């Protein structure tokens, strides 16, 4: 393919090739470059307090999920308010959170593969880590990896409560796996994980409660099987933003893993909420109108490389009769009703992301705003850490 | 929100907190960690040659789009084969390509906003840059920004040929804008951009040809208007992978902007192709089966943080009766037909991404394979550069 390679042609970037920071502390929102992910700190802090108070009132631990944001600064604020620890979803994702001083981390997922297990063992010497297991061979390999590093981890056996994804398929499988884990060196059975992502997003509160009741019945069956086998189960982890109001009142969960509550998105914003819980939208995409070629439309400079569209369109804030109708690779389309006043060329607008988790993962930092003033720019240090 | 901040708690990451490289040169595919983006170099190089030969045979320039991959090593190989330059879509995206020594770059998009224009002006002193404009005030602001830096750029007026996104809406608007650009200092009218993303993906070859004919008719009208106004139009840029076979034979395009042809994805793989063009799938997601709790399903360790789902499901390679049926945040679900043999726990499998552009943007590097051997690991240097 020819002799030209990057090594041959690379030139040191002169100062002119440096990109300016997306925002500076003290800037107003209008000075933030776009596309940007911006966090309304007042709403964010309200959300953190609302969930922490809810958990404490019912004597349940809150272990907020860091997969939602991948930003250590956010986890530190949740811990400062009383969260017991955090959840991560991937073993590499854990690294920046340990580097930030966080020492109590549950990996709410199965970790499979020699490289990942070796990393997990090294990390387990730096922090108190638990991890999910749903297979006997995987448990054995986890134990082997820990032994090789003289490390140890807690194991939560994942049970399938209707999500039909990971997890053991029956109370009998749970008991057998828990017993195996208890026999293996360097791993100890710490409890179960019972997470059902699908029911978090059911729109009707009644439907959500009904499906949740079914899941909880199944969790109880598993707990009874453990009890009959004489196996203590100190931790039952699961739950989420959509079911938090039920989770805390159940007698099964010892801790809940909610993540989105801190930010919200159009997906969670679109489900019915109990009056007792009122999470506010704190997370926004800042975009610029880069083209306005006809009165019925405007084109924004955000696309699939700054947000995702699989959970629906982002919601436009502050305009009547104007909606986001398409998200392309680098553009989003606003449709402007006849007679409505859309944003003009060069205007900056705010959008509510359709789905906060994959949106955070597309940004290197989040711009934390106090009112109209940039208070901080927080690195999303675990962005891209999906191994 | 309490006194605990990252600055207070940050500890230097010890060696144990370092993540291992995703792959090492010489490794077999089985040793590559997952999720990984892997490139089959033989298929990739075939694709590059096929498109370059097609363009040269018809006397049209090839200006491959870098938004598809954001990886300078890939652009360098396209240039080594004869490409005239590259396209970028965002002004920050240009930076790593200039740093890699590339000096002929078309920004196939409108650039609006003071920060972006200031950066563009600085970059225009490092490379020969053209940029799209579709608005008089935007043209004025572009000229002002160039003047401030004593830089200059070529302007391609974007025309809307049916995409209904950016672009002037009539030949009259084109002529007026071209005349304005010719009067403004530090910018010069270089031609037009006529891109229609939507018709690239029309499934039926006949439908695609029909819509393309309509678009080309519109381009001709615009060219006639320029001619009648006595304005030379040296460049007509546009086209793409889906219409390349028509684009090169038209008498309107002086260059084509195809990008996906180098990689393909299930979206482009699913449209009908003329026999004369046969692009091969060269881009794959490597994933590990992280859970296989029942015979009818397997769970992979790739999700929306490693690929996107808005263009359909990724395609699984090499298994009959097994399909990818869901992509969650960090998991993908394989459905295994009764009697079919799915992959087992710990197995690594290859998926064809649904849409290559946003998938590249989720990865820090692409693992370039020669057969079963890692030949290089190329940084996706413009990942996340969406401003």
User: Higher confidence at residue A153 or residue B20?
Assistant: A153
Task: Determine the residue of chain B that is closest to A125 in CA distance.
Answer: B16
Q: Which residue, among B1, B6, B307, would best test binding to A if mutated, counting the most A CBs under 10 Å from its CB?
A: B6
Please indicate whether, in this complex, the C-beta atoms of B6 and A72 are within 8 angstroms of each other.
yes
Pairing state of beta strands A297-300 and A332-336? antiparallel
- Given a cut of 50, whether residue B3 has pLDDT beyond it is no
pLDDT at B270: 87
DSSP letters, B169-200, are SSHHHHHHHHHHHHHSTTEEEEEEEE--HHHH
Q: How far is A364 from A370, CA to CA, in rounded Å?
A: 20
Residues B358, A120, A170: CA angle, nearest 5 degrees: 85
Task: Show residues of chain B in contact with A297, CB under 8 Å.
Answer: 164
**CATH class for domain A22-38+280-379?**
mainly beta
| A214-260 pLDDT tens trace | 999 999 999 999 999 999 999 999 999 999 999 999 999 999 999 99
- Given a cut of 70, whether residue B324 has pLDDT beyond it is yes
Gap from B66 CA to chain A (nearest CA, Å): 13
Task: Show residues of chain A in contact with B123, CB under 8 Å.
Answer: 16-17
- Given a cut of 90, whether residue B86 has pLDDT beyond it is yes
- Given a cut of 50, whether residue A32 has pLDDT beyond it is yes
Task: Show residues of chain A in contact with B17, CB under 8 Å.
Answer: 95, 98-99, 122-123, 126
- Given a cut of 70, whether residue B12 has pLDDT beyond it is no
> Residue range A44-50: average pLDDT?
98
pLDDT at A200: 85
pLDDT at A14: 58
Fold that domain B21-38+280-379 belongs to in CATH: Lyase, Ornithine Decarboxylase; Chain A, domain 1 (2.40.37)
Question: Would you say the CATH fold of A41-263 matches that of A22-38+280-379?
Answer: no
B70 is written with which tokens? 């954001």
Task: Show residues of chain A in contact with B89, CB under 8 Å.
Answer: 329-330
pLDDT at A275: 67
Q: How far is A364 from A279, CA to CA, in rounded Å?
A: 25
- Given a cut of 70, whether residue A365 has pLDDT beyond it is yes
Positive or negative: CA dihedral B88, B94, B96, B97 = positive
Q: How far is B313 from B354, CA to CA, in rounded Å?
A: 6
Grade residue B7 by pLDDT with cuts at 50, 70 and 90.
Answer: very low
Q: How far is B198 from A261, CA to CA, in rounded Å?
A: 37
Pairing state of beta strands B61-62 and B255-256? parallel
For the beta carbon of residue B68, count every other beta carbon within 10 angstroms. 29
3-class SS of residue A192? strand
Please indicate whether, in this complex, the C-beta atoms of B310 and A301 are within 8 angstroms of each other.
no
Q: How far is A139 from A125, CA to CA, in rounded Å?
A: 18
Task: Show residues of chain A in contact with B168, CB under 8 Å.
Answer: 293
Q: How far is B313 from B324, CA to CA, in rounded Å?
A: 6
Which region among A18-27, A93-102, B131-140, B186-195 has the lowest average model confidence (pLDDT)? A18-27
Cis peptide before B35 (omega within 30 of 0): yes
Task: Show residues of chain A in contact with B297, CB under 8 Å.
Answer: 164
Gap from A206 CA to chain B (nearest CA, Å): 24
Name the packing angle between helices A114-124 and A136-149 (round to 10°): 50
A349 is written with which tokens? 């607008």
Q: Please tell me if residue B30 touches chain A, with a CB cutoff of 8 Å.
A: no
Give the one of A67, A135, A345 whose C-beta lies nearest to B112's C-beta.
A345
- Indicate the burial class of A178 (C-beta count within 10 angstroms; 0-12, 13-18, 19 or more): buried
Task: Determine the residue of chain B that is closest to A332 in CA distance.
Answer: B165
8 Å CB contact between B128 and A303: no
* Number of cross-chain residue pairs from A and B with Cβ atoms under 8 Å apart: 266
Q: How far is A291 from A277, CA to CA, in rounded Å?
A: 40
- Within 8 A by CB and 6+ apart from B284, the residues are B37, B38, B39, B40, B317, B350, B351, B352, B353
Under DSSP, the state recorded for A159 is B
Question: What's the mean pLDDT when you consider all of chain B?
Answer: 94
- Within 8 A by CB and 6+ apart from B178, the residues are B157, B189, B226, B229, B231
Grade residue B15 by pLDDT with cuts at 50, 70 and 90.
Answer: low
8 Å CB contact between A354 and A362: no
Smallest CA-to-CA distance from A382 within B316, B271, B228, B17 is with B17
Q: How far is A148 from B343, CA to CA, in rounded Å?
A: 28
Under DSSP, the state recorded for B65 is B
pLDDT at A9: 46
- The proportion of chain B whose per-residue pLDDT surpasses 70, expressed as a percent, equals 95
> Residue range A291-316: average pLDDT?
96
> Residue range B32-36: average pLDDT?
98
Q: Where do the structural domains in chain A lie, given as residue ranges?
A: 22-38+280-379, 41-263
Q: Please tell me if residue B385 touches chain A, with a CB cutoff of 8 Å.
A: yes
- Given a cut of 50, whether residue B84 has pLDDT beyond it is yes
Q: If you compute the radius of gyration of chain A from its CA atoms, what whole number of angstroms results?
A: 23
> Residue range B254-260: average pLDDT?
97
> Residue range B233-262: average pLDDT?
96
- The proportion of chain A whose per-residue pLDDT surpasses 70, expressed as a percent, equals 95
Q: If you compute the radius of gyration of chain B from its CA atoms, what whole number of angstroms results?
A: 23
- The proportion of chain B whose per-residue pLDDT surpasses 90, expressed as a percent, equals 88
Which H or E run includes A334?
strand A332-336
pLDDT at B274: 75
| A67-85 pLDDT tens trace | 999 999 999 999 999 999 9
8 Å CB contact between A191 and A156: yes
A108 is written with which tokens? 């709410």
DSSP letters, A79-97, are HHTT---EEESSTTTHHHH
- Given a cut of 60, whether residue B1 has pLDDT beyond it is no
Grade residue B73 by pLDDT with cuts at 50, 70 and 90.
Answer: very high
Grade residue A274 by pLDDT with cuts at 50, 70 and 90.
Answer: confident
Q: Please tell me if residue B316 touches chain A, with a CB cutoff of 8 Å.
A: no
Alpha helices, H only, A331-379:
356-360
Q: Please tell me if residue B347 touches chain A, with a CB cutoff of 8 Å.
A: no
- Given a cut of 80, whether residue B273 has pLDDT beyond it is yes
- Given a cut of 60, whether residue A13 has pLDDT beyond it is no
Q: Please tell me if residue B205 touches chain A, with a CB cutoff of 8 Å.
A: no
Which region among A4-8, A305-309, B286-290 has the lowest average model confidence (pLDDT)? A4-8
> Residue range B295-303: average pLDDT?
98
| B326-385 pLDDT tens trace | 999 999 999 999 999 999 999 999 999 999 999 999 999 999 999 999 999 999 999 999
Give the one of A90, A291, A331 whose C-beta lies nearest to B330's C-beta.
A90
The ipTM estimated for the assembled molecules is 0.95
Name the packing angle between helices B72-80 and B41-57 (round to 10°): 50
**CATH class for domain A41-263?**
alpha beta
Domain B42-264 of CATH type 3.20.20.10: yes
- Tell me the CA distances in angstroms from A228 to A141, A223, A225, A251, one per residue in order: 28, 9, 5, 18
Which region among A80-94, A196-210, B100-114 has the lowest average model confidence (pLDDT)? A196-210
| A155-188 pLDDT tens trace | 999 999 999 999 999 999 999 999 999 999 999 9
Which H or E run includes A141?
helix A136-149
- Given a cut of 60, whether residue A5 has pLDDT beyond it is no
- Given a cut of 50, whether residue A10 has pLDDT beyond it is no
Q: How far is B140 from B181, CA to CA, in rounded Å?
A: 8
8 Å CB contact between A158 and A134: yes
Q: How far is B96 from B71, CA to CA, in rounded Å?
A: 8
User: Higher confidence at residue B96 or residue B20?
Assistant: B96
- Within 8 A by CB and 6+ apart from B132, the residues are B107, B108, B109, B110, B111, B155, B156, B157, B158, B166, B193
Task: Show residues of chain A in contact with B81, CB under 8 Å.
Answer: 1-2
């Amino acid at each position: 393919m020819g002799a030209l390679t990057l090594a041959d042609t690379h030139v040191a970037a002169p100062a002119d090739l440096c990109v300016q920071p997306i925002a500076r502390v003290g800037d107003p929102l209008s000075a933030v470059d776009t596309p940007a992910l911006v966090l309304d700190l007042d709403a964010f802090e309200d959300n953190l307090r609302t969930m922490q108070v809810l958990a404490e009132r019912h004597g349940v631990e809150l272990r907020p999920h860091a997969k939602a944001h991948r930003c250590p600064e956010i986890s530190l604020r949740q811990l400062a308010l009383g969260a017991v620890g955090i959840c991560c979803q991937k073993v590499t994702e854990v690294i920046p959170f340990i580097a930030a001083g966080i020492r109590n981390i549950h990996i709410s997922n199965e970790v499979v593969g020699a490289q990942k297990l070796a990393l997990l063992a090294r990390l387990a010497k730096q922090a108190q880590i638990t991890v999910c297991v749903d297979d006997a061979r995987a448990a054995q390999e986890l134990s082997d990896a820990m032994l090789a590093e003289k490390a140890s981890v807690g194991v939560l056996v994942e049970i399938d409560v209707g999500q039909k994804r990971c997890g053991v398929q029956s109370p009998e499988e749970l008991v057998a796996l828990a017993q195996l884990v208890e026999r293996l060196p360097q791993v100890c059975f710490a409890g179960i994980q019972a997470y059902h992502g699908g029911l978090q997003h059911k729109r009707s509160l009644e439907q959500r409660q009904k499906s949740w009741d079914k899941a909880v019945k199944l969790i109880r069956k598993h707990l009874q099987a453990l009890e009959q086998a004489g196996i203590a189960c100190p931790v039952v982890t699961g739950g989420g933003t959509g079911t938090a109001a039920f989770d805390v009142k159940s007698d099964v969960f010892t801790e809940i893993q909610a993540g989105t509550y801190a930010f919200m998105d159009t997906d969670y914003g679109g489900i019915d909420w109990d009056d007792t819980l009122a999470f506010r939208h704190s997370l926004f995409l800042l975009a610029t109108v880069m083209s306005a070629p006809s009165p019925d439309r405007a084109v924004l400079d955000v696309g699939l490389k700054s947000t995702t569209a699989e959970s629906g369109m982002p919601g436009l804030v502050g305009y009547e009769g104007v909606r986001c109708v398409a998200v392309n690779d680098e553009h989003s389309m606003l449709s402007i009703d006849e007679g409505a006043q859309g944003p003009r060329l060069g205007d900056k607008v705010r959008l509510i992301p359709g789905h906060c988790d994959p949106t955070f993962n597309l940004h290197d930092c989040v711009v934390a705003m106090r009112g109209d003033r940039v208070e901080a720019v927080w690195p999303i240090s675990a962005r891209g850490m999906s191994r």
